[in-house]
Chains A and B, each alone.
Chain A
Amino acid sequence: MNVKRRTFFKGVGGTLAIPLLESTGAAASTSPRTRFLVVGNPFGMHPDFFFPSQFGKFGETAELSPTLQSLDWVKDRITVLSHTDHNMVSGHGREISFLSGVLPADASAFPEKNMSIDQIAARQFGSGTRFPSVNAGLEDGIRMSWTANGVEAAPITDPQKLFDFLFLNLTEKEKQTRRDLLNRNGSLLDAVGNQFSSIKRNATSADHERIDQFQTSVRELEKVFSDRGNWIDKDKPEFDISGHFSESEVTITNKYNALFDMVAYAFETDLTRVATIAFPSLLNYTDVKGVTRSYHGCTHNGKMENVTAELVAIESFQIAQMSRFLKRLDETPEPDSDGSMLDHTVVLFGSGMGYGGTHSNRNLPVLVAGGGFRHLGHFDAADQSGNQMPLCNLFLTLLQRFGIEKDKFNTSTGTFSELSYA
């Protein structure tokens, strides 16, 4: 991070008053609000240090594993799953299916192709917020967010750019373009709405249900468009992240703090309800205490203790960053509802690779936090025959939590009904 940028960060912002909610009106706050954050890495987690040795609730029958130590304060609100995966053979290149269970090459066989769950959630929430989703990484992303067959949702990999994207106001021209499209869509819905009178007049009773569904969707969408129109002229919330860059040396810790804080603030102000944050493979983690080697190098540790320790340090760092974010959310009361923001935000941590050291894509490291679930501690998802649970079962449960009506998601064979929410 160069000096000029830091100055810029400092210059922006100012007062951090009570955040103004971005979205307004009923359609935007399809209450109660739920949000979704995915935190992912490309190489999985060292299983010996990630998976707790016992099953059950933490502090009762199970204890937190070494990698998960930073989550001690929130251990009753997390679930770590063992024995769940996407049924993929080992090797690199398959971890990109983390959030869908489907490789790009197999995408055509599935109704939503290899669209990742964050993007499906974004499509659902998107019309209610300024940004359907925010994908962030540092210096690079990881390939986990896919909008469609072979189309990656590219992450923003620079804190400055993320700042600009989230908090910089639109130019007059941009505003005009958006206003224009919204107006067109608004008039279009008017015209379509007028069609109903003629269709309904001659409709049989069997038609009414379908036509009502259609009519309702026109009305709801009109509302959404009009809400979106309000944001265009409204300035975005102000945000100050200069604090993260005030020290003499800017480390990846500061940068990740900044990324997570921006996402937290975007959640708080309802700029977006869906985000992903990546810990990429090529990032230099030597800022982390005890790390001297490359991330990928550490995964191929040949079981040497000192190298393994470096890997565990990197993995613990990733969890600790997420933990800090969870804390921030937990300290913020949920606007217009009970509980903290954490109770309304589902956080998924994991990877499409089980463990880089063996290139295994079985038994993926998966952790769910917050979201108002009745959490399970460390849970064994294998069935009695020892079959791993399809990870899509968990995803289906998460999508249902977001109010998405689905009874199947890609390779799901059911829901992960053990994870219930109040």
Chain B
Amino acid sequence: MRDPISHLLFRCLSPGFLLLAASVSHANPALLEKHCRECHNEEKNKGDFELRFLGDKPTQDNIDYWFSALDLVEAEEMPPEDESKLSAPERKKLIAYIEKAIADFDVSSVTKAAPLPRRLNNREFERSIADVLGIEDVGTHQPTDRLIGDSRYHGFDTHSETLGFSRFHLEQYVDAIRKIVDATILTGPQPETKRYEIDPENMVREVLNQNSGRIGGRGKDGHFDFLDPRLGAWLDGFEEAPATGRYRIRIFCTGKDRLTYDSEHTGVYSGDPIQLSVHLGDRIRTFNLPDDERFEITLDDWIAEGTRLILRNPTDGLRQRGNGNFKFQYAIAADHYKKYRPEDYVEFVESRRNNPNLPRSKSHRPDRWHNWVGRWEGPRPRVYRVEIEGPIHDSWPTQRQVALLGDNPSVKNAETILKPIAARAWRRPVKNGELDGILALVRDRAESTGDEVEALKEGLVGIFSSPAFLLINTGDMPESHRFVSKLSYFLEGTTSPGAWKKQIREGGFPDFASVKAVVEESLSNGRAVGLTRGFPYSWLELADINFMAPDPDQYRFYHRKRVSEDMVNEVLAFFRHAVDTNMPIPEFLSADYSFINQDLARIYGVADSVPLDSKLRRFTFTDGRRGGLLGMAAFLTSTADSLGTSPIHRAVYVMENFLGIHPTPPPPDVPIAEPDVRKAKTIKEILEAHTSDKTCASCHETIDPWGYAFENYDPTGAWRDEYVVPVAIERTGDEDSDGAVEVVYQKETLPVDASATFRSGASYDDITGLREHILNDINRDRFVRCFIVKLLTYANGVEPKGTDFIEVDRILDTSKLHEYRIVETIAAVIDSPLFRER
């Protein structure tokens, strides 16, 4: 379980800081004294806040409290409505006082923060090496598979402190770099080009069962059909690429039986084409196939030695029956015969019934899936033949080698050859003498092997194993290069493209206009994956979506259609839409539309209004319950447990990711009754019992209202008016499901109460009310500020803190000037000293 209940503490607060603040004398104006002291004194420090923490005026160490105080008083959440006698004019005065105190703060007194270096994360490492070497990706031999996985910090995979470095990292890096370089620069004699023709009889199905010695079935009758999407086929005769190089692969294929069965039964939508995917290591290429028409797929790919070529049916369907294993789908064939070919059905069934030549399991139950294996006419790709030619080298040494090492790769010229590569890898000019160690390495290697290309390869490995490559944003870089390198990782997740070199020479990106231009260019040429993918993954914690997946027995659809992938794609599509249309940032919350397909439409209850296919399209919701981030299942499901939901998880997500408020976990000594779903109680009743405890109440009164509105959404994000309290009962299934255990849920229902009242006195009845509330002026600014903070966190590898918020508010002002438009806001972030100087 996640901590179901969290304590609230605004922005940042460390124990050391408390001590410091405690020693400051306090002389607060009358309003603070009169309206705040009663709850925030040394004995009664509600919300872990005491008035004396504010001191006389903002300082570098206490300014967080001033910002929080301003935020809460402005939002009318403090003083709380039920305890407050603060009149409206008084509130205005108090706000003005705090604002002035913050404005009077002398920013020049703040110690300037230095740029914070960090290790490349794994995706940046892969992309950067490929870009420096000028290759499509790191290779099909999965050279980076043993890299140590990156942990995320609240979703962020660019967090400096979290991206640690150890000898285990270094060893795996060196190993991966060698493998990448070895598959890029080929030495020795030119390998012979061979042709392979693979007939269906030599296409062999993978096996996933425990009998690993077993060989799967082969194609026959002139074709190989891909039935079970879990099982690809490998090619007997071309088990793996014998040598590295370019291969031309032709696959003759077609789509079969796309519409024979009802898509409700197969889970393959009638609007989706049949596809075939070609797996070359983890490089996957997917093709749409026409129905019953011979089609030729041609690939021209650089493939590393040892790569296995696997063909697969990539559908997300064909898991609807039984426990989801493919074999149970065969029963669909029986249903189909029964309905559409009743005479054939009777004939077939009679031929089986009581047939002494058949095993009892088949002869006694003609409807069982076993009997229909040979009669499957489900949607599937069919392959007739595969032709492979390779490795093809138009020249030897290869073009890749010549592009990197030139026509004359000799140790004598090592410095000339390696220097520009090092400059690209290190994202800055190479200083005099800096390559000496690496050049010595090259000379040694040449001496011991007598092979000058091998020796230069060793030099490349050295360049990439260097801290200058593996660490970014180090303080030793020339300012313009550091900024451009930081910008390129922020926008594109890789080292800066060559085109920016000229701009660096000409003074870089000195102002808002030039920054905005480069953001727009990067977005329009499709390179901005750091911003359009890396950032939303981090900000919205998308990688977490299946860490507590909905219960697989109760929420079958979610698992069987891989709906979590659609949910993540919905978020990415919305984000893409935002940058493409230069959307005002508050529209992330206010939009009445989103981008959905049939799978999502089923979760959202609008299946009838959406075509039967998997393509994401813009869809406008009319009921006020969906549209924008607040209605997205990615958020609703990743904040839910497997069987139940927690308004607190969702409230914390909303506060942290949309409002920029950080509740911290409760002190470890607080006893928390976990929600017991077996007792017929709603989460609200349970939480109310918990918050009747005074120590818990002061925080929960602030947190919980941000979450209750989402109680109308179940763990998959589907709408519900009542809780179905499931009581699980395991039951062994009948013969048809092969004796698999089925979990049956006995249901009890309780009505959902999705209303809540904020401390300010504002209240709502359900999500439509919360949506209104979250769009008021103060919350809208909180949201945009939060967005800015998240961008800065992503860019800097650390969250802004303390006095940084003075500058954050300046970025907010710029954003406001531009109607909060996202491109201008991003440009303002990049143009700010918080980005440039960190």
A187 CB within 8 Å of chain B = yes
A190 touches B167 (CB 8 A): no
A192 touches B675 (CB 8 A): no
A217 touches B170 (CB 8 A): yes
B115 to chain A, nearest CB (A): 6
| C-alpha spacing A386/B462, complex, angstroms | 54
B650 CB within 8 Å of chain A = no
Nearest B-chain residue to A300, judged by Cβ: B739
Within 36-55 of B, Cβ neighbours of A (below 8 Å) are at none
B476 touches A282 (CB 8 A): no
A384 CB within 8 Å of chain B = yes
B444 CB within 8 Å of chain A = yes
Nearest B-chain residue to A193, judged by Cβ: B437
Q: Given A195-B434, A203-B476, A105 and B148 touching (CB < 8 A)?
A: no
| C-alpha spacing A91/B739, complex, angstroms | 9
Q: Hey, what's the 0/1 contact readout for B144-170 against A, CB within 8 Å counting as 1?
A: 011011111000000010001111111
B441 CB within 8 Å of chain A = yes
Residues in A neighbouring B142, C-beta threshold 8 A: 148-149, 151
B502 CB within 8 Å of chain A = no
| C-alpha spacing A359/B553, complex, angstroms | 14
Q: Given A217-B170, A281-B210, A89 and B151 touching (CB < 8 A)?
A: no
A199 touches B164 (CB 8 A): no
Residues in A neighbouring B116, C-beta threshold 8 A: 206
B549 CB within 8 Å of chain A = yes
B506 CB within 8 Å of chain A = no
Nearest B-chain residue to A280, judged by Cβ: B210
| C-alpha spacing A110/B152, complex, angstroms | 11
Nearest B-chain residue to A211, judged by Cβ: B467
A221 touches B171 (CB 8 A): yes
B210 touches A109 (CB 8 A): no
Residues in A neighbouring B677, C-beta threshold 8 A: 385-386
Q: Hey, what's the 0/1 contact readout for A261-294 against B, CB within 8 Å counting as 1?
A: 0000000000000000000111000000000000
Contacting A191 at CB < 8 Å: which of B152, B168, B209, B440? B440
| C-alpha spacing A147/B675, complex, angstroms | 38
A89 touches B475 (CB 8 A): no
Contacting B167 at CB < 8 Å: which of A89, A127, A188, A383? A127
Contacting B211 at CB < 8 Å: which of A88, A111, A140, A206? A140
| C-alpha spacing A414/B122, complex, angstroms | 24
B457 to chain A, nearest CB (A): 10
A210 touches B475 (CB 8 A): no
Within 134-188 of A, Cβ neighbours of B (below 8 Å) are at 140-143, 147-149, 151, 183-185, 187-188
Residues in B neighbouring A187, C-beta threshold 8 A: 441, 444-445
| C-alpha spacing A313/B585, complex, angstroms | 65
A48 CB within 8 Å of chain B = no
A397 CB within 8 Å of chain B = no
Interface-forming stretch among A4-12, A247-255, A340-348, A401-409? A401-409
B248 CB within 8 Å of chain A = no
B476 touches A201 (CB 8 A): yes
A111 touches B441 (CB 8 A): no
B543 touches A109 (CB 8 A): yes
Q: Given A210-B119, A413-B548, A282 and B740 touching (CB < 8 A)?
A: no
Within 540-590 of B, Cβ neighbours of A (below 8 Å) are at 543, 545-549, 551-553, 556, 559, 564
Residues in B neighbouring A385, C-beta threshold 8 A: 643-644, 674-678
A213 touches B166 (CB 8 A): yes
B230 touches A93 (CB 8 A): yes
Nearest A-chain residue to B454, judged by Cβ: A184
B358 CB within 8 Å of chain A = no
B730 CB within 8 Å of chain A = yes
Contacting B172 at CB < 8 Å: which of A42, A108, A123? A123
Residues in A neighbouring B213, C-beta threshold 8 A: 140, 282
Nearest A-chain residue to B559, judged by Cβ: A89
B199 CB within 8 Å of chain A = no
Residues in A neighbouring B471, C-beta threshold 8 A: 210-211, 214
A217 touches B165 (CB 8 A): yes
A205 touches B114 (CB 8 A): yes
B528 to chain A, nearest CB (A): 22
Q: Given A213-B165, A217-B167, A358 and B732 touching (CB < 8 A)?
A: yes
Q: Given A192-B467, A210-B117, A384-B676, A42 and B476 touching (CB < 8 A)?
A: no
A411 to chain B, nearest CB (A): 6
| C-alpha spacing A216/B165, complex, angstroms | 9
B interface secondary structure, majority: loop
Q: Hey, what's the 0/1 contact readout for A90-127 against B, CB within 8 Å counting as 1?
A: 11110110000000011011111101000000011001
Contacting A411 at CB < 8 Å: which of B470, B547, B553? B547
Within 434-478 of B, Cβ neighbours of A (below 8 Å) are at 434, 436-438, 440-441, 444-445, 448, 458, 461-462, 465-468, 470-471, 474-476
What count of chain A residues pass the 8 Å CB interface test?
85
Contacting B117 at CB < 8 Å: which of A92, A206, A362? A206
| C-alpha spacing A114/B337, complex, angstroms | 40
Nearest A-chain residue to B169, judged by Cβ: A217
What count of chain B residues pass the 8 Å CB interface test?
95
A148 to chain B, nearest CB (A): 4
Contacting B1 at CB < 8 Å: which of A93, A105, A112, A414? A414
B746 CB within 8 Å of chain A = no
A192 touches B324 (CB 8 A): no
Q: Given A90-B741, A207-B476, A358-B739, A195 and B467 touching (CB < 8 A)?
A: yes
A204 CB within 8 Å of chain B = yes
B210 touches A42 (CB 8 A): yes
| C-alpha spacing A302/B170, complex, angstroms | 54
B257 to chain A, nearest CB (A): 23
| C-alpha spacing A123/B167, complex, angstroms | 11
B587 to chain A, nearest CB (A): 28
Residues in A neighbouring B730, C-beta threshold 8 A: 358, 360, 362
Contacting A214 at CB < 8 Å: which of B152, B165, B172, B475? B165
A90 touches B210 (CB 8 A): no
| C-alpha spacing A181/B238, complex, angstroms | 30
| C-alpha spacing A113/B465, complex, angstroms | 24
Within 167-185 of B, Cβ neighbours of A (below 8 Å) are at 167-172, 174
Residues in A neighbouring B172, C-beta threshold 8 A: 123
A123 touches B174 (CB 8 A): no
Residues in A neighbouring B169, C-beta threshold 8 A: 217
Nearest A-chain residue to B122, judged by Cβ: A111
| C-alpha spacing A172/B444, complex, angstroms | 23
Q: Hey, what's the 0/1 contact readout for A378-413 against B, CB within 8 Å counting as 1?
A: 000001111100000000000000000111101101
Residues in B neighbouring A204, C-beta threshold 8 A: 114-115, 475
B465 touches A188 (CB 8 A): yes
B208 CB within 8 Å of chain A = yes
Q: Given A191-B440, A192-B437, A143 and B210 touching (CB < 8 A)?
A: yes
| C-alpha spacing A191/B466, complex, angstroms | 8
Residues in B neighbouring A282, C-beta threshold 8 A: 210-211, 213
A89 touches B553 (CB 8 A): yes
Q: Given A188-B441, A206-B116, A198 and B434 touching (CB < 8 A)?
A: yes
Q: Hey, what's the 0/1 contact readout for A212-224 against B, CB within 8 Å counting as 1?
A: 0110111011001
B118 CB within 8 Å of chain A = yes
Q: Given A203-B474, A211-B467, A220-B167, A89 and B324 touching (CB < 8 A)?
A: yes
B547 touches A413 (CB 8 A): yes
A-B CB contact pairs (8 Å), 14 listed: A111-B543, A112-B149, A143-B210, A195-B434, A200-B476, A206-B114, A206-B115, A213-B164, A218-B167, A300-B739, A362-B743, A384-B674, A385-B675, A408-B547
Q: Report B's interface with A, CB cutoff 8 A.
A: 1-2, 113-119, 122, 142, 145-146, 148-152, 160, 164-172, 174, 208-213, 230, 282, 322-325, 431, 433-434, 436-438, 440-441, 444-445, 448, 458, 461-462, 465-468, 470-471, 474-476, 543, 545-549, 551-553, 556, 559, 564, 641-644, 673-678, 728, 730, 732, 738-743
Q: Report A's interface with B, CB cutoff 8 A.
A: 42, 87-93, 95-96, 105-106, 108-113, 115, 123-124, 127, 140-143, 147-149, 151, 183-185, 187-196, 198-207, 210-211, 213-214, 216-218, 220-221, 224, 280-282, 300, 357-360, 362, 383-387, 405-408, 410-411, 413-414
